[in-house]
C-alpha cells in the first residue's frame, strides 16, 4: 500500500533536496509539515509534497524564497501557468539541444573531409546558425537540403560563385551563352536546395539583401546576384524568341525582370495552396489566379495570341520553368482556377 506520509529523510531522498534544506523551508514557514510523529519526526502528506513541487518549480524560474512564499500565500495563485512555463522551458532546452546537434553534425562534415576545423570554422558555424535563425525556424531548416548537407552545399556553391566571378572579370555580358548556362545550373541548385519552396527562396533572397554577414559568408553580393538573374532572364528570352515575333519579343524584353518580388510572393502563395490542397474554385485560389493573370498579361502585352504562343513554349520547353519554382502542376492550377472566373 502506498504510504500516506513521508518522513523528512524520505522526502529529501525522493525530492533531491537535503534534509537541511527542508529544515530551512520549515524554519521560514515556506513548507511546514502537516504533522509530527510521537517521536518528533516531521511528517509530510500529499498536500505538503504538492506544495514542495510548486516551490521547486518556482525556484527553477529564478524566484527567491521570499517571493515564492508571497506567491503561494495567494489563494488563487495561477500555478497552471507555472506548469505551462515549465513545459515551454523544456521545449526550449530540447530546441537548444537540437541546434547543438546540428552544429556538431556540420562540423563533423568538415572533419570527415580530412580538414581540421580552425577556430574561425567553429565561430563561423555559430554565426551562420544565428544568422539563419532570423529567417527560418528549426523545423524549416530540417526540411532544407542546403542546410542538411552543409559541407557539400558550401563546396558546390563556392564553385558556382567562382565561375560567376570569373565571367564578370572577363567582361562576359549576361546574354553570353556561358553566363546563361551557369545561371541555369545556379537556379536549379537553388530550387533544389530550398526544397522547391518559393517562400524559402524568397526569405533567402531577403537575407542576402539585408545581411552583410550573409554576403560575406556566401560571397553572393547584390552585384553578383543581379548578374546571375540577368543571365537567367536572357537565357529564357532566347528560348521565347523561337516562338514569338519581333514585336512580342520587344515587349517581353522591356518587361523582363520587373515585379520580381511581387512574382515570388504570388508564386509562394500558390505553392502553399497546392500544399494545403485548396480547391481551384475556392475564393482564395480564384483571387490568386486573378492576380497572376493580371500581372502576367501586363508583362506580355495582353494579346491572347501571344499568350497562346507562350503556353506552347512552356509545354515544349521544360527549361523555361526549371529553376523558377513553378512546376507544370502550378500552371495547371492557375489556369483551372482562372477558368472558373468566367
CB atoms within 10 A of CB 147: 20
Tens place of pLDDT for every residue, the chain, 342 residues? 456 788 888 888 888 888 998 999 999 999 999 888 877 788 889 889 888 888 888 887 667 788 788 778 776 656 666 666 666 666 666 766 676 676 667 666 666 666 655 545 544 555 566 677 778 887 787 777 766 555 556 678 888 999 999 999 999 999 999 999 999 999 999 998 888 999 999 988 888 888 888 888 788 999 999 999 999 999 999 999 999 999 999 999 998 878 888 899 999 999 999 999 999 899 999 999 999 999 888 888 878 899 899 989 998 999 999 999 999 899 999 999 999 886
Say which residues have a Cβ less than 8 Å from residue 190's Cβ, sequence separation at least 6: 201, 204, 323
Distance CA 146, CA 138 (A): 14
Sign, CA dihedral 322-323-327-332, equals negative
Distance CA 107, CA 114 (A): 11
Distance CA 235, CA 309 (A): 18
Distance CA 78, CA 100 (A): 34
Chain position carrying cell 551562420: 128
Residue 123 has what pLDDT? 46
3-state secondary structure of 6: strand
Distance CA 319, CA 185 (A): 11
Instruction: Name the β-bridge partners of 7.
Output: 43
Q: Where are the alpha helices (DSSP H) in 113-245?
A: 119-133, 138-143, 145-148, 150-169, 177-193, 198-210, 212-218, 222-240
Burial class (CB in 10 A: 0-12, 13-18, 19+), 159: exposed
Report strand pairing: 35-36 vs 42-44.
antiparallel
Q: Which three cell numbers stand for residue 232?
A: 537567367
Q: What are phi and psi of 44, to 5 degrees?
A: -110, 125
| pTM flag (> 0.75) | no
CATH classification of 6-77 is 3.10.580.10, yes or no? Answer: no
Amino acid at each position: 500500500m502506498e504510504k500516506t506520509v513521508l518522513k523528512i529523510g524520505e522526502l529529501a531522498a525522493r525530492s533531491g533536496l537535503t534534509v537541511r534544506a527542508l529544515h530551512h523551508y520549515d524554519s521560514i514557514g515556506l513548507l511546514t509539515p502537516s504533522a509530527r510523529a510521537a517521536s518528533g519526526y516531521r511528517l509530510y502528506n500529499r498536500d505538503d509534497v504538492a506544495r514542495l513541487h510548486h516551490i521547486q518549480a518556482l525556484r527553477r524560474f529564478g524566484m527567491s524564497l521570499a517571493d515564492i512564499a508571497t506567491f503561494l500565500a495567494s489563494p488563487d495563485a495561477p500555478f497552471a501557468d507555472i506548469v505551462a512555463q515549465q513545459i515551454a522551458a523544456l521545449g526550449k532546452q530540447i530546441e537548444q539541444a537540437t541546434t547543438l546537434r546540428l552544429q556538431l553534425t556540420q562540423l563533423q562534415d568538415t572533419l570527415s573531409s580530412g580538414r581540421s576545423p580552425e577556430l574561425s570554422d567553429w565561430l563561423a558555424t555559430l554565426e551562420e546558425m544565428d544568422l539563419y535563425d532570423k529567417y527560418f525556424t528549426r523545423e524549416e531548416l530540417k526540411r532544407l537540403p542546403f542546410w542538411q548537407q552543409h559541407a557539400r552545399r558550401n563546396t558546390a556553391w563556392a564553385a558556382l560563385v567562382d565561375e560567376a566571378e570569373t565571367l564578370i572579370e572577363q567582361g562576359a555580358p549576361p546574354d553570353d551563352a556561358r553566363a546563361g548556362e551557369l545561371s541555369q545550373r545556379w537556379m536549379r541548385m537553388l530550387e533544389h536546395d530550398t526544397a522547391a519552396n518559393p517562400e524559402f527562396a524568397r526569405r533567402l533572397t531577403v537575407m542576402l539583401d539585408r545581411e552583410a554577414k550573409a554576403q560575406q559568408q556566401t560571397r553572393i553580393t547584390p552585384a553578383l546576384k543581379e548578374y546571375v538573374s540577368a543571365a537567367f532572364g536572357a537565357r529564357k528570352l532566347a528560348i521565347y524568341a523561337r516562338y514569338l515575333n519581333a514585336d512580342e519579343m520587344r515587349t517581353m524584353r522591356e518587361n523582363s525582370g520587373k515585379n520580381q518580388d511581387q512574382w515570388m510572393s504570388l508564386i509562394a502563395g500558390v505553392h502553399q495552396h497546392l500544399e494545403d490542397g485548396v480547391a481551384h474554385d475556392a475564393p482564395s485560389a480564384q483571387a490568386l489566379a486573378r492576380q497572376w493573370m493580371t500581372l502576367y498579361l501586363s508583362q506580355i502585352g495582353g494579346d491572347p495570341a501571344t499568350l497562346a504562343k507562350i503556353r506552347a513554349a512552356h509545354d515544349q520547353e521544360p527549361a523555361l520553368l526549371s529553376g523558377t519554382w513553378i512546376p507544370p502542376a502550378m500552371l495547371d492550377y492557375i489556369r483551372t482556377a482562372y477558368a472558373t472566373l468566367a
